Structure 1
Amino acid sequence: MSGEAEALPEFRFEAEVIYWRGPSPFFFVPVPPAEAETLKGVMKAVTYGWGMIPVGATIGGVAFTTALFPKDGTYFLPLKDKVRRKANITAGDKVIVEMAIRPQRG
């Protein structure tokens, strides 16, 4: 990608919140396959390492910034407790995510 001339994709999708019981339990929204493929196409231009992609997202009117991380052929959108409480969401809830890539400036 060559600078500001090329617009980064924005996303809007519905997905189910999951609770991952791994070594560090956390809530996530897995990115659907079609959107994950688009992310894979721009990942090298926007990652700051380990495949992490910085994004701004909105769920239920709550805006936040975070970083997607690659997992099981897709990307996971982490949901901090503060975001979940404000949006009143938990595991098993279907949510609509509006998301835009926010590359690091350096």
Structure 2
Amino acid sequence: MDITFRAELFEWRGPAPFYWLALPPDASEEIHAEAAEASYGWGAIPVAVSIGGTEWETSLLPRDGGYVLPVRKHVRLGERLEVGDDVEVSLSVAPRNGRAANGTGPTM
């Protein structure tokens, strides 16, 4: 499953700051339809992500009936992203197929 969307980068300040993009409702609905097949637990969905010229693997996390995408520091710095930026994202759900929660193992 390939999904492209735009979302505003926001910061959540917990014990350490984290930066996120909230998937729009239509994208979250598509992901939810695949969740049982792809999730490795806790509702986390492994994905391969692309923003600009940067690609990485991470997991979507459930939030308020949808999903949020964590944006790593190297991605923010490399793509010069700031809180409030409207970011274009492409992602693909990576079915489990033996994939461990830490991202090791087969992908797509």
| TM-score bucket of the superposed structures, by smaller chain | 0.7 to 0.9
* 1:90 lines up with 2:86 in the alignment: no
Q: Deviations over 1:51-99 (max 9, x none)?
A: 0000001112111110000011111100110111111102100010000
Distance in structure 2 (CA, Å) of the matches to 1:49 and 1:12: 24
1:46 corresponds, among 38, 41, 47, to 38
**Structure 1 residue identity aligned to 2:65:** G
Alignment match of 2:7 (pick from 15, 40, 43): 15
Q: Return 5+ residue gaps in structure 2 as ranges.
A: 99-108
- Cα RMSD of the aligned pairs, angstroms, is 1.0
Unaligned runs of at least 5 residues, structure 1: 1-8
Whether the 8 Å contact between 2:28 and 2:67 is mirrored in structure 1 is yes
In structure 2, what is the equivalent of residue 59 of structure 1? 51
Moved over 4 A (4+): none
Question: Identity over the aligned pairs, expressed in percent?
Answer: 39
User: How many Å separate the matches in 1 of 2:15 and 2:34?
Assistant: 29
TM-score (normalizing by structure 2): 0.86
Equivalent in the alignment of 1:36: 28
